[in-house]
Structure 1
Amino acid sequence: MPIYEYECEVCNHRFEVIQKISDKPVKKCVLCQGKVYKVFSAPGLLFKGSGWYVTDYANPERKKAVEADKKAASADSGSVKAVSKESKKSETP
């Protein structure tokens, strides 16, 4: 359930109320019974990491560059594995 913040017009007391979206808004202050209004604040949403936008929703040129980088990285790791397998074969009698 969302948390709504209210502020009293009389005593300037701010308080939070956990309510359903369908509940009626609070009309009176919990301290002085004065008229309150709903305070709108930024949501608690935080993106962390190296930028999901670049890999998911970027322009087509950037997306092609990211895919090319991935292919190059996988090709490099594949060649290293192939070399290591060949070196093991040459070492065994």
Structure 2
Amino acid sequence: MPTYVYRCKDCEHEFEMVQKITEDPISNCPKCNGQVTRLLFPVGIVFKGSGFHINDYPSSSSSNKKTEDKTEAKEPAASKD
């Protein structure tokens, strides 16, 4: 079950609640009974294993090779005289 962090709009009290995803969010502060909002936090991502960067991004040498091939393949444009 995820842990949610709430902050009271009246007294600025922050507290955590462990709730099911299907449960309704808490609406009242346990200290002053004021209205609360749920805070959002970024989730940490850890890439394990080898190759996620290598597999997803081409090396710089291969991109240089492709641009050289494209410039050699082009022929000069004919004049309209």
TM-score tier, shorter chain, comes to 0.5 to 0.7
Compute the TM-score of the two structures, normalised by the length of structure 1: 0.53
Q: Cα RMSD between the aligned structures?
A: 2.5
Identity %: 28
TM-superposition CA deviations, 1:11-64 (whole Å, max 9, x none): 000111111110000000011111101111112x242668742234233xx3xx
Q: Which protein is richer in helix relative to its size?
A: 1
> What stretches of structure 1 of length at least 5 have no aligned partner?
66-93
Aligned position for 2:29: 29
Going from structure 1 to structure 2, the CA distance change for 1:22 and 1:50 (only over 3 Å counts) comes to closer
Aligned position for 2:54: 55
> What stretches of structure 2 of length at least 5 have no aligned partner?
63-81
Q: Which has the higher contact order (CA 8 A, sep 6+)?
A: 2
Deviation beyond 4 Å, 4+ runs, structure 1: 48-52
Compute the TM-score of the two structures, normalised by the length of structure 2: 0.60
